[in-house]
Amino acid sequence: MPVRNFNLFSIIDCSWQRDSCRENEEDINSKMVQGAFSEVVLAEEKRTQRLVAIKCIPKKALEGKENSIENEIAVLHKIKHANIVSLEEIFESKSHLYLIMQLVSGGELFDRIIEKGFYTEKDASKLIQQILDAVKYLHDMGIVHRDLKPENLLYDSMDEDSKIMISDFGLSKIECSGSVMSTACGTPGYVAPEVLAQKPYSKAVDCWSIGVIAYILLCGYPPFYDENDAKLFEQILKAEYEFDSPYWDDISDSAKDFIIHLMQKDPNIRYTCDQALQHPWIAGDTALEKNIHESVSAQIKKNFAKSKWKQAFNATAVVRHMRRLQLGTSSEGPNPSLPEEDAGTTCGYWCCSISIVSFFFSHTV
C-alpha cells in the first residue's frame, strides 16, 4: 500500500494519556515502541476538521504476524453497514500502520443504560434488532464476528435515539468454501458451547452471543458466572442457566422464549439471525413497556464493573488448562500457541487487544 502523509491529521487526544496532546507521528512513535501492540487515538482531519479514530499499529509488533492484520483489514474493507463501525482509510509510514476509523461518540452500551431514567423490554428489543440486522449482514457476507459482547457495542452519538454500532473485528473470520472453524476464541461468558468443546463451529456462535447479550439487557447480570474460569466454562458447555426470581418476574414469556431459542446448546437448532428477526419479541408487539431500569441498572453496576468485564482471556489456554487438571498435572508452562486452523487470522492476538475502536470520544467536543 502507498505511504501516505500522516500529517494530514492532528492528534487531539490519546487513549493512553488524556491530559496531553500528541502533535505528530514522532510523538506517537515514541510512545508506541514501549510495548503496546496498538493504540487508538482521537484525531481531526486538518482539511475538513472531521473527527476520526486512528488505530496506530507499530510494524515491529506485526513481524511474523502480517496475515493477522491483513485479515482484519480484509473484513473491514468488505463491509459497509449502518450499524458497523467502518474503516475509512489506511495510511502507512516506515514504522507504523494507521487505520482511519469512523468515530463513534455516544459511549458504551452499559453506561447509556445506567444513565437512562426509563428503560424497558421494548428498548432492549430495539437494541437487539439492530445487532441482529448487522450480524445478519455479516453472515450473508460470509463473515463471522466471533467476539460479540457489550464491550464491542457502542452508540453512534449522544442523541437519545442514537443507533448502536458493532466494533472490534480483531477475531472475525471470513468463511471460505470447505474451511472449518475450530479455534477457541471469543470472550468467556459470551462464547458458545461448541467453541469451548473444541468442535468445528459456524456462524451460529454469533447467535449464541446475541442471546447472552439479550439476557443481560433484561436483567443486568450474565447467564453464566463463576470466579473460576474452568467452572464458568463447565456451565456454558452444559448450557445451564436460569431466569431467576425476582429479577425475571416482570419479564415477558416472549422475551424468555426468544433467549431460549438463541441459547440452544445444539447449534443446529439454534435460531439464525433471520429466524430471530422474525420472532414476535423483535418483529411483533410482545416486548413489554414496563420500566425495568432500577433493577437492571443496579445489577449492571454490581456485576459489570469495568475492571471485571473489560478483561479478555485466551479461551484456548483455559481449555488446555482444564485438560491439564483432568490429567492431574499442575504444570502451567507458557501460553500455548493457537491451532493451525486459524493461521492467518487474528485469534493469536487476543491478549494483544486488537481493537477497532477501543477509544471513543464520549463527551461534547
Is 285 labeled as catalytic in the residue annotation? Answer: no
Residues contacting residue 241 through CB under 8 Å, at least 6 positions apart: 215, 223, 224, 235, 263
| pLDDT at 356 exceeding the cut of 70 | no
Kindly report the pTM of this predicted structure: 0.76
> Could you tell me if 122 and 289 are in contact, meaning their C-beta atoms sit under 8 angstroms apart?
yes
The pLDDT, as a whole number, for residue 39 is: 79
Cβ count near 261 (within 10 Å): 18
pLDDT at position 361 over 70: no
Catalytic: which of 13, 147, 168, 206? 147
The Cα–Cα gap between 116 and 60 comes to 44
Confidence (pLDDT) at 270:
97
354 torsion bin: left (phi>0), alpha (psi -120 to 50), beta (else):
beta
Q: Which residue has the higher pLDDT, 28 or 253?
A: 253
The mean of the pLDDT values for the chain is 76
More confident position, 309 or 103: 103
Spatial contact of 120 and 128, defined as CB atoms under 8 Å apart: no
Task: Report H helices in the chain.
Answer: 25-32, 66-78, 109-115, 121-140, 193-196, 204-219, 229-238, 253-262, 273-277, 280-283, 293-303, 306-309, 315-327
Which residue, 191, 224, 184, 223, is CA-closest to 206? 191
pLDDT digits (tens, 9 = 90+) for 260-273: 999 999 999 999 99
What are the pLDDT digits (tens) for 128-171? 999 999 999 999 999 999 889 998 999 999 999 999 999 888 77
**DSSP H helical ranges for 79-140:** 109-115, 121-140
Bridge partners for 92 per DSSP: 97
If pLDDT is split at 50, 70 and 90, which confidence band does 348 have?
very low
Among 31-35, 168-172, 224-228, 289-293, which range has the highest average pLDDT?
Answer: 289-293
Highest mean pLDDT among 198-202, 203-207, 312-316, 341-345: 203-207
Complete domains list, the chain, with CATH: 6-102 (3.30.200.20), 109-352 (1.10.510.10)
Report whether pLDDT(345) > 80.
no
**For range 96-114, the mean pLDDT:** 91
